[in-house]
Amino acid sequence: MIIIDRILQQRERDGNPIKVGMIGAGFMGRGLANTIINATPGMELVAVANRNIANARRAYEELGITELAEADDARGVERAIARGIPCVTENPFALTEAAGIDALCEVTGNVEYGAHVTMSAIENGKHMILMNAELDGTLGPLLRIKAEKAGVVVSGCDGDQPGVQVNLWRFVRQLGCTPLLLGNIKGLQDEHRNPTTQEGFAKRWGQNPYMVTSFADGTKISFEQATVANATGMTVCKRGMLGWDHAGHVDELTTRYDIDMLRSHGGIVDYVVGAQPNPGIYCMATHDDPKQRHYLELYKLGKGPLYSFYTPYHLCHFEVPNSMARAVLFGDPTVSPLGEPRVEAITTAKRALPAGHVLDGLGGYDTYAQAERADVTRSERLLPMGVAEGCRLTRALGIDEVITYDDVELPSGRLVDKLRIEQESLFPL
């Protein structure tokens, strides 16, 4: 979206920046704050909410911004915006309800918390950009419908692999090609990693060991590829995806994937481990026009029938402002479900678990996610990973056993469960 930079520069010259707020101020949130404040003319980070207000302050203070207002509610945020002073708060609804904020970014990765703040943003007419694939993969189809009715955008983001994949999908389709596979390049996949095994890596990079574990054990990629499938109409060809080890370049995969299999599924999402360019993403596509296939060969994409397209990197928080601008300026979601869910992230036991055990959170010691077709998830009553935290097991489970709704007691009073029921009623089997 090259046009965005010039429009934002003009808004900067006009003194009319897009005013944005951020909910969550962890490792990624602080990086996003830096990008907005120091590298995005025409956009202003007017407020940050975090459950620990010290971290909200840190997002600004690390950048040399020390004059901050604190607020308890929306009126306090509005007063700070009117004074031109950045605002911090422990109350996320102070941001969702405040006038003067054009768009929000949710950066927590927590499904229940994210559901509450996203619903509030929709109800208050604010665009919401999600750095929370876990929420998007659990409730994205319903949130899209609610957002459209409210005239706002709820979207995944540029920079994270889903956004980069969907951007590439749109580009390849614009060329006249038919994408048949969208894939993610991973450096590691071990379903039984846990916060203890990942603690050293997390400390080295200043990250949360549970979040790092969700990358290593396949949970994050299952959510991410579910959102890509839902945004493109693709599916998975098997539970957990193919997930091949591949030490070469992704261009070599044009002869490894079976084109008839890809076509029979209407396109699939997948990943490979160890391939180059790492940590990029890739797309396998075909073209029906023999004249255009001649040109593609001339342009060094090979003889087909599959052609390889890829982006050699994903730059996470560096690209998120693009999604915020796309939502505000054009009403254009980066990643948004086309309709009914196509793929879900389902819950699988990471270790043997006794009856009565209460499941821990994403990237923890108890469970990992696998990508599965949404119709299979529904018909077999498989437990979505986005609702697993806090569930009490009603029977003992073995390692790598898939967990169903019949195996658990849900915590009472959760919004995520209410919204899941509503989503399923909108999209019956």
* pLDDT, tens digit (0-9, with 9 covering 90-100), for 66-81: 999 999 999 999 999 9
Q: Identify the pLDDT of residue 211.
A: 83
**Residue 60 to residue 46: CA distance in whole angstroms:** 10
Asked whether residue 321 falls in the same domain as residue 406, the answer is no
pLDDT bracket for residue 204 (50, 70, 90): confident
**Residue 280 to residue 168: CA distance in whole angstroms:** 11
Asked whether residue 288 falls in the same domain as residue 175, the answer is yes
**Residue 62 to residue 66: CA distance in whole angstroms:** 9
pLDDT bracket for residue 207 (50, 70, 90): confident
Q: Identify the pLDDT of residue 210.
A: 87
Asked whether residue 146 falls in the same domain as residue 14, the answer is yes
Residue 110 lies in a domain: yes
The model's pTM is 0.97
Asked whether residue 128 falls in the same domain as residue 65, the answer is yes
Closest of 406, 320, 330, 340 to residue 28, by C-alpha: 320
Residue 338 lies in a domain: no
CB contact at 8 A, 324 and 105? yes
Average pLDDT over residues 48-76: 97
Q: Identify the pLDDT of residue 1.
A: 58
> What is the 3 state secondary structure string of 283-349?
EEEECCCHHHHHHHHHCCCCCCCCEEEEECCCCHHHCHHHHHHHHHHHCCCCECCCCCCCEEEEEEE
Omega of the bond leading into 277 within 30 degrees of 0 (cis): yes
Average pLDDT over residues 332-343: 97
Average pLDDT over residues 208-237: 95
CB contact at 8 A, 385 and 226? no
Asked whether residue 106 falls in the same domain as residue 221, the answer is no
Residue 341 lies in a domain: no
Asked whether residue 181 falls in the same domain as residue 122, the answer is no
The phi and psi torsions of 329 (rounded to 5 degrees) equal -80, -35
Residue 340 lies in a domain: no
Asked whether residue 231 falls in the same domain as residue 250, the answer is yes
Asked whether residue 177 falls in the same domain as residue 298, the answer is yes
Asked whether residue 186 falls in the same domain as residue 103, the answer is no
CATH number of the domain bearing residue 67? 3.40.50.720
Asked whether residue 75 falls in the same domain as residue 90, the answer is yes
For 79-133, write each residue's pLDDT tens digit: 999 999 999 999 999 999 999 999 999 999 899 999 999 999 999 999 999 999 9
pLDDT greater than 90 at residue 2: no
Asked whether residue 16 falls in the same domain as residue 138, the answer is yes
Range of the domain at 274: 164-310
Closest of 79, 91, 89, 100 to residue 17, by C-alpha: 100
Give the count of domains, the chain.
Answer: 3
Helix axes 209-216, 219-232, angle to 10 degrees: 60
Query: In this structure, what token pair is assigned to residue 221?
Result: 């990629």
Q: What is the mean pLDDT of the chain?
A: 96
Residue 253 lies in a domain: yes
Asked whether residue 305 falls in the same domain as residue 373, the answer is no
Residue 48 lies in a domain: yes
